[in-house]
């Protein structure tokens, strides 16, 4: 058996990567896979495995324990971890955050350590030591000490100023105040004093100080609206909803002070959209998910008061887990100056050695016959030559340009001010100038070769508009009158008959309005009823006007469209939803909501009508909906044709369907649903399995098509960047079809572009690896590498690859292997040697495969990576930096882009006051600007500054 091949990857042999799914979560890829053993399992291992399988499962997923209003509980000995020697600290972090580099004790040593990484500084330190030796010193020691201290002092002061700004930012954040339950009542406390288990009260427009469980709020059903712009870059509000029991019993101060709930949940991690936990209270257990958690960095909006229980604090919060490690970035000029200093230093040594040898020869041949050269010492010529070698090193120290570093720092400081003062980089609409957030990387703006950009909110405005739809096989949305006749004259539909209509909504197909009002097509009314009922949107009434707050712009656009066509979502409670159907208000009981996630790619709701009927309504991606339709769906092909038309017009699509459910069928399913909802382990998997049982035999209604508008000037900017020989790589979590459509919309892809997909480049790379293996041999490593293009010259090519194919191609791990029992058995020396060699071969193969992939991708004019995770974004940037030695720019607008931003040579990031790790990212940024400014910087190969 070929065990080497078996241990390469964790993919199944016969399976192909799935283009539709995000391959894994970030935390799973950080765990190393266990080394694969021989295919012949030892008998002892088999016995241990069987014993482990028969053992009662242990709940490893929920190991984080929180007790409300009990700080002493979290200080128990079994919660203490050894930090250093006998020093112990609690595993529960306090809520103070630290993003600064230095403190009063570490500033001097750490700053000096960083500065002496520069070759010139180290040289002059050695020179200073030599000048303190009287036998070899020809100059006073202070002649070197003064300029050295000047250089070190200027650089240290600059670093200190930057770090003081970080200290101020940290202090500002840590000293913010909120109300915390202490001694039975709410008292004002600083953020840094908050601890896990505290019950806090937040008010409108307050920042959330930690990751908290929402207990109650002043809104009906304890809803809470939050703005998550500092987490994901989205400005639309999202809503959270407390448990029904905490909403009922935890509204007053006295009940909150006596709250003694106990929570078991997952350990701190960086998954912003996932949370699994269970609340134990009043001898009952209640499931917790991400919809009940308020994350640090959010802002409370449209909610007067809300109460929460701190689950994760400080460094354990999800936003800090996403911050990644701060990397010290150096420019090419820094490396060039170090190289120059090394070269000068070698020349200096050679010159000094030559002069010392000449001096020794002079002493041996001539001696000190001249009285003015005689020093009164009888030393050997070789010893005199040795001393004079060091003397020449001192005398010729001016060959090493210590002032060069000072000059460069002054120039960089001036450049950063010129960026801040540049009127052509000013965005007048939002009164936002450009801002250089670092003084060390500015010269790299004109050296960028590759730009890595997020899509949603960066290339696009993340503003969705309902454009077209397909109902019962009929496409609606073209310019037609009520008689289905197309007209060149564009006339908007008049929605004055609908008192709830949104005046900003524009639609041009009058025939659809005729169909809705006539009621002849039942499917048309069902279509818009589904849009009005199947969602997680919340409504806010101001002066009689309806304002929808949606978790995603897509959902908001669909609900708003239904509102304009007469099916108006009015209000919801925990168990009901009220809809105005062409002027008639009806209330429906909500029996279950089957949530959307990236794996399911669909959302469903089960309701009971006033007549007592039970229906399931579902909307989702066409790939998953079509798999779950019943056999008798006469409009499947017509709808598929419409989807193809919408995709060609770069519109985002969703399919809509429904089914009738019998009372008995629902009762049996509901028991399974409730059991899965409170599962303490693998809850998501259990719920998905239950959802699958009910989401089948669906009846297709049609499809929606909405437009995601591009940022202003995107095509023109990309065209200019192409002329500057800058390549654009788009890294996004969206599905392949959407990413490809946006590529065409922003003219990154054109009709003349030959597109290569994952399966295409996988075969090309496989062929290249075979050829390289065949050419390999004893003398292969001595032969100069011959550049071989993957594609014939000429033609415009682009690469579109999904996260799953990226893992397959780069031989990355797909998922974390479950650890059953890991016992180490003694091996012979030969087995150890063979195992080591096998690992080395696999690592060499992986490295070669990655290098080939980068070479292939760089031959393409554009690269789009879709369905990728934040960690994969950073990996792609790192590969290009490593193998191409190129200056890279990463552009992002959310916490999921932080890893990519930090690993890039240069970055452009969102400015935020509540996420110091983001706001201190290196690069040029603006505070809220979403404009593409190019008048001046594009001509100099500069990059975009973003919001």
Residues tagged in the binding site annotation for ATP: 454-456, 555, 596, 619, 652, 732-734, 867, 873, 896-897
User: How many angstroms separate the CA atoms of 701 and 638, rounded?
Assistant: 11
Residue 839: partners with Cβ closer than 8 Å, 6 or more residues away: none
Distance between alpha carbon 824 and the CA centroid of its chain, in Å?
37
In three-state secondary structure terms, 649 is coil
Pair of tokens at residue 60:
């490893």
Neighbours of 364 (CB within 10 A): 13
Q: Binding site for Mg(2+): which residues? A: 454, 456, 893, 897
- Residues in a beta bridge with 476: 469
Dist. CA 419–CA 410, nearest whole Å = 15
Angle at 183 between CA 179 and CA 185, to 5 degrees: 45
Residue position matching structure tokens 């000094």: 352
Distance CA 903, CA 327 (A): 7
The catalytic position among 247, 316, 454, 554 is: 454
Cα dihedral 672, 674, 676, 677 in deg (nearest 10): 160
- The dihedral built from the CA positions of residue 34, 38, 40 and 42, taken in this order, carries a sign that is negative
Strand, coil or helix: 753: strand
Question: What is the spatial distance between Cα 866 and Cα 737, in angstroms, rounded to a whole number?
Answer: 9
Query: Hey, CA dihedral for 550, 551, 552, 558, is it positive or negative?
Result: negative
Query: By the 8 A CB rule, do 193 and 907 touch?
Result: no
Alpha helices (runs of H) in 77-206, residue ranges in sequence order: 107-115, 119-131, 142-174
From CA 309, how far away is CA 261, in angstroms rounded? 10
* Residue 377: count of CB within 10 angstroms of its CB: 9
437 contacts: CB under 8 Å, gap ≥ 6: 911, 919, 920, 921, 922, 923, 924, 925
Is residue 653 within 8 A of residue 622, CB to CB? The reply is: yes
Question: Are 202 and 300 spatial neighbours (Cβ–Cβ below 8 Å)?
Answer: yes
Rg (CA), the chain: 33
Catalytic, 454? Answer: yes
260 close to 68: Cβ distance less than 8 angstroms:
yes
Residue 63 — left, alpha, or beta (φ > 0 → left; ψ -120 to 50 → alpha)? alpha
Q: Cα angle at 302 between 500 and 531, to 5 degrees? A: 40
| Total number of residues shown for the chain | 947
277-281, strands of its sheet edge to edge: 62-67, 262-266, 277-281, 284-288
| Angle, CA 665 vertex, CA 662 and CA 671 arms, to 5° | 135
Return the DSSP state at 565.
T
**C-alpha dihedral sign at 122, 124, 130, 136:** positive
Strand partners, 802: 866
Binding residues: 454-456, 555, 596, 619, 652, 732-734, 867, 873, 893, 896-897
d(CA 786, CA 775): 11
Strand order in the sheet with 887-891: 753-756, 796-802, 862-866, 727-731, 448-453, 887-891, 906-908
Q: What are phi and psi of 920, to 5 degrees?
A: -95, 10
Query: Tokens 């909110």 sit at which residue?
Result: 457
Catalytically annotated residues: 454
């Amino acid at each position: 058996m070929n065990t080497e091949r078996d241990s390469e990857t964790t993919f199944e042999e016969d399976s192909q990567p799935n283009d539709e799914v995000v391959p894994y979560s970030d935390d799973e890829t950080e765990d190393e896979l266990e080394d694969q053993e021989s295919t012949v399992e030892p008998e002892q291992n088999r016995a241990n495995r069987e014993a482990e399988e028969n053992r009662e499962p242990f709940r490893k997923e929920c190991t984080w324990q929180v007790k409300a209003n009990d700080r002493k509980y979290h200080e128990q000995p079994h919660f203490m971890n050894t930090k250093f020697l006998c020093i112990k600290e609690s595993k529960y972090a306090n809520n103070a955050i630290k993003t600064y580099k230095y403190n009063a004790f570490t500033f001097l040593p750490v700053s000096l350590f960083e500065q002496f990484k520069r070759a010139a500084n180290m040289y002059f330190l050695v020179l200073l030591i030599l000048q303190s030796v009287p036998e070899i010193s020809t100059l006073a020691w202070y002649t070197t000490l003064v300029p050295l201290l000047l250089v070190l002092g200027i650089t240290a002061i600059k670093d200190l100023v930057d770090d003081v700004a970080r200290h101020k930012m940290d202090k500002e954040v840590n000293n913010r105040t909120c109300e915390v339950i202490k001694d039975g009542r709410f008292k004002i406390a600083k953020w840094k004093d908050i601890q896990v288990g505290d019950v806090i009260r937040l008010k409108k427009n307050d920042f959330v100080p930690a990751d908290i469980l929402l207990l109650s709020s002043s809104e009906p059903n304890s809803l809470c609206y939050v703005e998550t712009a500092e987490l994901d870059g989205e400005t639309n509000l999202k809503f959270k909803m407390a448990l029904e029991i905490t909403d009922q019993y935890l509204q007053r101060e006295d009940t909150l002070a006596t709250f003694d709930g106990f929570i078991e949940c997952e350990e701190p991690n960086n998954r912003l959209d996932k949370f699994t936990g269970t609340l134990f209270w009043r001898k009952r257990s209640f499931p917790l998910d991400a919809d009940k958690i308020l994350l640090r960095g959010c802002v409370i909006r449209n909610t007067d008061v809300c109460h929460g229980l701190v689950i994760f604090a400080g460094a354990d919060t999800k936003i800090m887990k996403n911050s990644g490690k701060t990397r010290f970035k150096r420019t090419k000029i820094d490396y060039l100056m170090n190289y120059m200093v090394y070269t000068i230093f070698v020349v200096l040594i050679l010159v000094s050695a030559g002069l010392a040898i000449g001096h020794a020869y002079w002493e041996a041949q001539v001696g000190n016959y001249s009285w003015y050269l005689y020093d009164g010492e009888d030393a050997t010529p070789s010893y005199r030559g040795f001393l004079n070698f060091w003397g020449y090193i001192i005398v010729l120290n001016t060959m090493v340009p210590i002032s060069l570093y000072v000059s460069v720092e002054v120039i960089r400081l001036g450049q950063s001010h010129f960026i801040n003062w540049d009127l052509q980089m000013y965005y007048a609409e939002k009164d936002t100038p450009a801002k250089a957030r670092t003084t060390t990387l500015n010269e790299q703006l004109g050296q960028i070769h590759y730009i890595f950009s997020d899509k949603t909110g960066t290339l696009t405005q993340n503003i969705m508009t309902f454009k077209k739809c397909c109902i019962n096989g009929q496409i609606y949305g073209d310019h037609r009158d009520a008689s289905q006749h197309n007209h060149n004259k564009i006339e908007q539909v008049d929605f004055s008959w609908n008192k709830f209509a949104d005046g900003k909504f524009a639609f041009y197909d009058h025939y659809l309005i005729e169909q809705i009002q006539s009621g002849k097509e039942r499917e048309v009314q069902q279509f818009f009823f589904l849009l009005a009922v199947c969602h997680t949107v919340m409504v806010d009434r101001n002066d009689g006007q309806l304002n929808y707050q949606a978790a995603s712009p897509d959902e908001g656009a669909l609900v708003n469209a239904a509102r304009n066509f007469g099916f108006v979502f009015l209000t919801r409670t925990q168990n009901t939803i009220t809809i105005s159907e062409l002027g008639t208000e009806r209330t429906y009981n909500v029996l279950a909501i089957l949530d959307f996630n990236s794996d399911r790619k669909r959302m469903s709701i089960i309701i009971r009508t006033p007549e007592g009927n039970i229906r399931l309504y579902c909307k989702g991606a066409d790939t998953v909906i079509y798999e779950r339709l019943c056999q008798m769906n006469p409009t499947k092909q017509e709808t598929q044709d419409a989807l193809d038309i919408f995709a060609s017009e770069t519109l985002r699509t969703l399919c809509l369907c429904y089914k009738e459910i019998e009372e008995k069928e629902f009762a049996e399913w509901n028991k399974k649903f409730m059991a899965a909802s409170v599962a303490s382990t693998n809850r998501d998997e259990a719920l998905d399995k239950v959802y699958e049982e009910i989401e089948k035999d669906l009846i297709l209604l049609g499809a929606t098509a909405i437009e995601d508008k591009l940022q202003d000037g995107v095509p023109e900017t990309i065209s200019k960047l192409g002329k500057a020989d800058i390549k654009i790589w788009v890294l996004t979590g969206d599905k392949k079809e959407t990413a490809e459509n946006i590529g065409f919309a922003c003219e990154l892809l054109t009709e003349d572009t030959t597109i290569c997909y994952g399966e295409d480049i996988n075969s090309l790379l496989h062929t290249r690896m075979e050829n390289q293996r065949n050419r390999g041999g004893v003398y292969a490593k001595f032969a100069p590498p011959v550049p071989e293009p993957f594609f014939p010259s000429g033609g415009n090519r682009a690469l579109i690859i999904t996260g799953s194919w990226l893992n397959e191609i780069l031989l990355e791990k797909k998922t974390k292997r479950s650890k059953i029992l890991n016992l180490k058995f003694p091996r012979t020396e030969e087995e150890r040697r063979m195992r080591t060699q096998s690992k080395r071969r696999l690592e060499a193969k992986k490295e070669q495969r990655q290098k080939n992939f980068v070479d292939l991708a760089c031959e393409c004019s554009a690269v789009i990576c879709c369905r990728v995770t934040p960690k994969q974004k950073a990996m792609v940037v790192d590969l290009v930096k490593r193998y191409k030695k190129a200056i890279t720019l990463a552009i992002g607008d959310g916490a999921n882009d932080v890893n990519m931003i930090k690993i890039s040579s240069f970055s452009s990031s969102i400015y935020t006051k509540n996420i110091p790790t983001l706001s201190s990212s290196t690069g040029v940024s603006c505070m809220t600007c979403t404009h593409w400014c190019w008048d001046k910087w594009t001509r100099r190969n500069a990059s975009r500054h973003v919001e």
